[in-house]
Amino acid sequence: MNNKLLLLILSCGLLVLLWAASRMRAPMSRIYGDPSGKVSDDVWATGYKPATPVETEAEVLFYQDMKGYNTSRIPALVYHHDMFFAFAEGRKETFDDIGEMDIIMRRGRRKDWKVAWGPVEILASQSGYRMMNPVPIVDTEIDMILLVYNAHPSSVSAWDELADEILTTQLKVIKSFDLGVTWTEPQEMNHETIQLIKPKASLYAPGPGHGIQMKSGRLIVPGNFFSMVTDSTQIAFRNGTFTQSNVIYSDDHGNTWHPGGSLGYREDTNGIAIFSNEPTAVELDNELCINARTLHPDQPRLLAFSNDEGTSFGTLRFAWSLQEPGYYTHDPDSVSDYINPLQGPFLLEDNTTSGAFVGGCQASTIGFTAPQPLSPSNTWVVFSNPASFTTRRNMAVKISKDGCRTWSKPWVIHANASAYSDLAYFETWDSDAGVYSPNIAILFEGGGEHSYESIQFKMFSLERMLQGIAEPSPFFPGSNFFRGPKPKVW
């Protein structure tokens, strides 16, 4: 055998070995988060081709008059071991925040881009109470699904609770160690959490939406509470109270709980009190980020960051590029859809500015390891909410690649009425690239005539979301969404 033939055989063998090695690349989760910090040079720069954009049709999971419930509201979603867990409130008497309610759930087994959903199951029900705000967390360390929720007397509204200055909230937790087939008996957490919050809480609500497990193993439940105004310099929101977002946490898999940091009372430079409410939490590279609704239509969403895993939070920041709905109420039982976005004054029907101002909407965030080593942040964050300055409609997603400092244009996935939502992250195997590809699922309230007609489920790949964000949008033709001057910031 001459040297040229031997060299040709060796070269062919080397090419075969290189091809085989490329087909045996580690899963995306390893490439994303290799403890060594090493990333294959060619995986994203040259060797990896983005997966084909995939998007599923929205599927209704809960709807009005389903299983005897008047309305299903307040979605929450988590994913674990190829299973989706979709939670909601089953409201028996009305769509409103009153009357008896159950916490209900559907489990869905995912295979590729299809999910086989099981029946509606009742997880929490108590005569004379409304069970509210399901907050699920996946504890990957012990393979557990945990669910925090609260219970209130069904005939007493939240505003009545505040007026009576008597805390009736019961904060509870249940756990499942078999992918939601069975659950533990409820454990009440008031003495560890609500009763230790300062200033004293008159009303507490977890979530809504999923909580998170941090890299350290700490479980985080974002929430908010109302306290009585005791300082004459403070502005009350309603019934002599103000509201602020906070977190509670557990370092032992939900066996014991502790109150964490809160966002505190603060006013912007226009003298408008910042009433933070209904927060969502996401862990970034080296900090915890709270993204909260604000209850005044002059203000956009609010961000706060923690460097000690939620024990305390730093300076509050307005997220100007996260537009959200606003509205005002003259009669608390009759809500108008009027809003003059980011301008003032906000006049009521009698041309006064008195009355109860309420704005914003709940939103969701989910973080995942960035698929590009050259990204400004190792963690990318997806955000969902009704992307509208006026009414609750245009359910959309955005992405931040720099730790929630800036956000992309929105990709509208449901252009009709929509309200609350929750996000989950999952991966699918890309056989062509030999890696796992990142994907997002969303569970959201939506309908044609109004937001509470149904709770719908939809999945899409990261590539499809990025494609959708880049597409021209009839809803958001430009990059500047603000109509009028921005209020001053500190």
pLDDT of residue 4: 58
State the amino acid at position 241 in one-letter form.
T
Alpha carbon distance 291, 266 (integer Å): 16
Could you tell me if 145 and 9 lie in one domain?
Answer: no
pLDDT at residue 474 in the model: 67
The confidence band for 452, taking pLDDT boundaries of 50, 70 and 90, is very high
Tell me whether residue 362 is in a domain.
Answer: yes
pLDDT digits (tens, 9 = 90+) for 399-420: 999 999 899 999 999 999 999 9
pTM listed for this prediction: 0.83
Residue 484 within a domain: no
Q: Which of 11-25, 161-175, 315-329, 466-480 has the highest mean pLDDT?
A: 161-175
pLDDT at 348 over 60: no
At 299, phi and psi to the nearest 5? -120, 140
Confidence of residue 367 (pLDDT cuts 50, 70, 90): very high
Residue 271 has pLDDT above 60, yes or no: yes
Q: What is the rounded CA–CA span in Å between residue 14 and residue 377?
A: 37
Q: What are phi and psi of 30, to 5 degrees?
A: -75, -40
Specify the number of domains making up the chain.
Answer: 2
Residue 449, in any domain of the structure: yes
Least confident of 28-37, 53-62, 96-105, 447-456: 28-37
Give the separation between CA 191 and CA 444, rounded to whole angstroms: 33
Q: Are residues 274 and 332 in the same domain?
A: yes
Of residues 332 and 323, more confidently modeled = 323
Q: Is the same domain home to 31 and 54?
A: no
pLDDT of 478 strictly over 70: no
Are residues 162 and 217 located together in one domain of the fold?
A: yes
Three-state DSSP class for residue 19: helix
User: Is 479 within a domain?
Assistant: no
What's the burial of 104, exposed, middle or buried (CB within 10 Å: 0-12/13-18/19+)? buried
Q: Is residue 478 part of a domain?
A: no
Q: What is the mean pLDDT of residues 191-215?
A: 95
| Pair 104, 222 in one domain | yes
State yes or no: pLDDT of 235 exceeds 60. Answer: yes
List the strands of the sheet with 435-446, edge to edge. 59-63, 454-461, 435-446, 411-430, 393-400, 379-386, 364-369
Instruction: State mean pLDDT over 242-255.
Output: 96
- Looking at the fold, whether 59 and 21 belong to one and the same domain comes out as no
Indicate whether 86 pLDDT > 90. yes
Beta bridge partners of 238: 241
What number is the average pLDDT over the span 271-299?
92
Residues 14 and 149 grouped into a single domain = no
Determine the pLDDT at residue 239: 78
**Are residues 165 and 223 located together in one domain of the fold?**
yes
- At residue 43, the pLDDT reads 33
CATH number of the CATH domain containing 187: 2.120.10.10
In a domain, 131, yes or no: yes
Residue 160: pLDDT band (50, 70, 90) is confident
Q: Measure the CA–CA gap between 385 and 420, rounded to whole angstroms.
A: 7
CA distance 377 to 368: 11
Task: Report, as an integer, the average pLDDT of 88-105.
Answer: 94
Q: What is the pLDDT of residues 115-157, one digit of tens each?
A: 999 999 999 999 999 999 999 999 999 999 999 999 999 988 8
Cis geometry, peptide bond prior to residue 259 (ω within 30 degrees of 0): no
Domain co-membership, 104 together with 2: no
pLDDT at residue 107 greater than cutoff 60: yes
Q: How confident is the model at residue 373 (pLDDT cuts 50, 70, 90)?
A: low
User: What is the mean predicted confidence (pLDDT) over 311-325?
Assistant: 89
pLDDT above 50 (res 480): no
Residue 487 lies in a domain: no
Cα–chain center distance at 128: 29
Residue 42 in domain: no
Is the model's pLDDT at 324 over the cut of 70?
A: yes
SS (H, E, C) 67-101: HHCCEEEEEEEEEECCEEEEEEEEECCCCCCCCCE
Q: What is the arithmetic mean of pLDDT over 276-289? A: 96
DSSP conformational letter for 12: H
**Does residue 365 surpass a pLDDT of 70?**
yes
Residue 222 token pair: 């974002």
pLDDT category at 355 given cuts 50, 70, 90 is: very low
Q: Are residues 29 and 103 in the same domain?
A: no
Residue 466's SS3 state is helix
**Same domain as 79, residue 23:** no
Kindly state whether residues 54 and 27 are assigned to the same domain.
no
pLDDT band at 293 (very low <50, low <70, confident <90, very high): very high
The percentage of the chain sitting over the pLDDT mark of 90, rounded to a whole number, equals 57
Quick: pLDDT tens for 5-63. 555 555 555 554 444 443 333 222 222 222 223 333 333 333 345 678 899 999 999 99
Q: Which residues constitute the domain of residue 28?
A: 1-35
